A and B are shown apart, each in its own frame.
Chain A
Amino acid sequence: MANERKGEVQFGEQLTVRSHILRSAMTSGPGIFWVTFFLLLPLVWIGVISFLTRTEVGGFERPFTFENYTRFIGFGFFGFDMLYPQIILRSLVLGIGTAVLCMITALPLAFFIAGLPARYKTLALTLVLIPFWTNLLIRTYAWQILLAPESPLTRLAVWLHFTEPGLPLYPSAMAIYIGMVCDYLPFLVLPLYASVEKIDWSIAEAASDLGADGPRVFWHAILPQVTPGLVAGIILVLIPATGQFVIPDLLGGAKTVMLGNAIQQQFQQSRDWPFGSAITFVGMGAVMLGLWAYARAAGERGGEII
């Protein structure tokens, strides 16, 4: 692809640089324009708003100020309180925790599907896809029903002395994680499976022939082969999970405020768009930073990311 500019023959054609640009404008142009205008520009606009001041009635106006960011760091009306950095941290923990849990559950599932006879593989995959294609809201509120005081799951928990009778199992951190994993598991299984499917088992056989035991074979011969799929899946989970607000809202009883909830609250109930924009920007920055760091670390071992 890097040879495009040099006028080499590609796909049976030899195009000039000018021709490339013209054709790009015709094909990629509209799409790029759309995304730039309706997403990139708005993101810049959010950045601008984050430096403005909230009016008394919930709008925003000049003067430009750093107040929203200082308030974010912790200098609020009632004294210093590192509330919002904590929220971001909590959300990152949630994202990472979800990714790790999904990874632990996705690995056996991916290997299971890969190990099935060929004619059952599609079926098994489809069975993973079906919940994936079902509306997230429905699956989340269904967990509310499953974790209500009189449901079988809750009764089991009571019997195990995990909780008191009459209390629901939500809202709780556990409920949030259950909801998150249930939702994001397919996101990890699918790319992971794509990698697992392509595993060259002969390497593992060679390793065990050379005397390595089970775990070492897995760690050194198999795991590196699935890393690209694993990395892709973890990224697909980590970012949305960190910004998720519906699941913490419905299963966390709005008791635990995550990044998504905090942003939603400032934009809706509190009507403080400047502050909400500041939170959004910092939050997005934190996620991007974490992602970049992870991609660099993993990129050395894995292949391309998308």
Chain B
Amino acid sequence: MKRVSLPLWLVSAFLYVFMYAPLAVVIIFSFNAAKHGGPWTGFTTDWYTSLLADKQKQDATWNTLILAVASTVIATALGTMLGYGLSRYWFPGKKMFSLAMYIPVMIPDIVMAVAMLAFFKLLTSAGGFLQMGLATMTIAHITFQIPFVAIVVRSRLVGMDPAIEEAAHDLGASTWQTFWSVTFPLMLPGVLAGAMLAFTLSLDDFVVSFFTTGPGATTLPILIYSSVKRGITPDINALSTLIVLASVIGTIGVTLLQRPRQPSGG
């Protein structure tokens, strides 16, 4: 029953091609000499070299990375604690709050984006200490990252055998010691997975960033969107190809990192 039939092979092959067609097209057309993204007129690497001189794109890349790293660090910390706390401890109203934690995962990103925009506008006009820009974007990213990290960490904790921690306590370890010597190391793959997920969510985010951005805080997705609205310029294809390559390397890296986990019952 587990052999794969020929029709299934064909359908699956077609679907894989379908999923990869856009990526292939972007890569191929990044070498197209046509100035306005029209039909193929010749091979060139000019668009890649033009990227090196393009300050706007470099700023955007820088912003995107800073934003992703900053938000991931904070979100992983808060999300891990949240995942751990929810899996171990109780508080009044816990059921309701647990459900509420899933809201960012559940609602369409545009709803989240405009809600935060409206709220930030309230804060900026009231206080004057917060400006729309990288700060607001970081806050917004952290907000949708936390639940994802919490879910990943929590599911890792749920799958863990409680006997190990029980043994540690039986041997006289305090909660603190148990956590750092036993629980955390076992939890670590989940934390890393959560962090990786958060990082990717931030890197790729467009809608929330679009609404919470400010001057000088343009990120790559926002830049690509504005450029695409203006008509596909080939240097966007070159930039996109580089992003795609980075994603491929990242994905393969993450998958390789996760492989040794399998024996522990993933």
Contacts and interface: CB of A to CB of B under 8 A. Distances in A.
Are chains A and B touching directly in their complex (CB below 8 angstroms)? yes
Contacts of A11: 88, 162, 165-166, 169
Contacts of B144: 39
Contacts of B84: 27
A87 interface: no
Given A105-B15, A115-B8, A145-B232, A32 B166 contact: no
A182 B22 contact: yes
A76 interface: no
Given A28-B89, A246-B207, 15 more contacts: A1-B87, A10-B88, A11-B88, A12-B166, A13-B169, A35-B147, A38-B142, A39-B103, A40-B103, A138-B240, A141-B224, A142-B25, A243-B107, A243-B110, A280-B110
Interface in B3-18: 3-4, 8-9, 11-12, 15-16, 18
Closest 8 CB pairs of A and B: A243-B108, A12-B169, A27-B85, A31-B82, A28-B85, A142-B22, A42-B119, A12-B166
Interface stretch (A64-72, A77-85, A124-132, A157-165): A124-132
Interface residues of B, number: 98
Q: How large is the interface on A (under 10, 10 to 19, 20 to 34, 35 or more residues)?
A: 35 or more
B151 interface: yes
B180 interface: no
Please report whether the interface of chain A is mostly helix, strand, loop or mixed according to DSSP.
Answer: helix
Contact of A111 (B8, B16, B79, B119): B8
B81 A30 contact: yes
B53 interface: no
A89 interface: no
B115 A39 contact: yes
A259 B247 CA distance: 30
B15 A137 contact: no
Interface in B186-207: 200, 203-204, 206-207
A5 B146 CA distance: 26
A277 interface: yes
Contact of B114 (A5, A235, A263): A263
Contacts of B29: 145
B182 to A, nearest CB: 10
Contact of B23 (A25, A109, A142, A287): A142
A204 interface: yes
B143 A35 contact: yes
Given A10-B88, A139-B23, A146-B21, A244 B108 contact: yes
Interface stretch (B44-52, B55-63, B93-101): B93-101
A138 B24 CA distance: 11
Interface in B98-148: 100-112, 114-119, 122, 139-140, 142-144, 146-147
A46 B119 CA distance: 8
B100 to A, nearest CB: 6
A45 B120 CA distance: 11
Given A43-B115, A267-B114, A131 B228 contact: no
A150 interface: yes
A180 to B, nearest CB: 13
B31 interface: no
Contacts of A115: 2-4, 8
A246 B181 CA distance: 46
B179 to A, nearest CB: 10
A245 B91 contact: no
Contacts of A137: 206, 221, 224-225, 228
Nearest to B196: A133
A212 interface: no
A45 B119 contact: yes
Contacts of A283: 108, 111
B85 A23 contact: yes
B221 A284 contact: no
Contacts of A20: 89-91
B255 interface: yes
Nearest to A240: B108
Given A111-B8, A133-B200, A263-B114, A246 B206 contact: yes
A233 interface: no
A284 B22 contact: no
A201 B166 CA distance: 37
A172 interface: no
A288 B3 CA distance: 40
Interface in B147-171: 147, 150-151, 162, 165-170
11 contacts: A11-B169, A28-B89, A36-B100, A45-B122, A126-B251, A146-B25, A239-B107, A240-B108, A245-B207, A280-B115, A283-B108
A306 B12 CA distance: 27
Interface in A223-274: 235, 239-240, 242-246, 250, 259-260, 263-264, 267, 273
A274 B122 CA distance: 14
**Max chain A Cβ within 10 angstroms of own Cβ: one of B25, B38, B118, B200:** B118
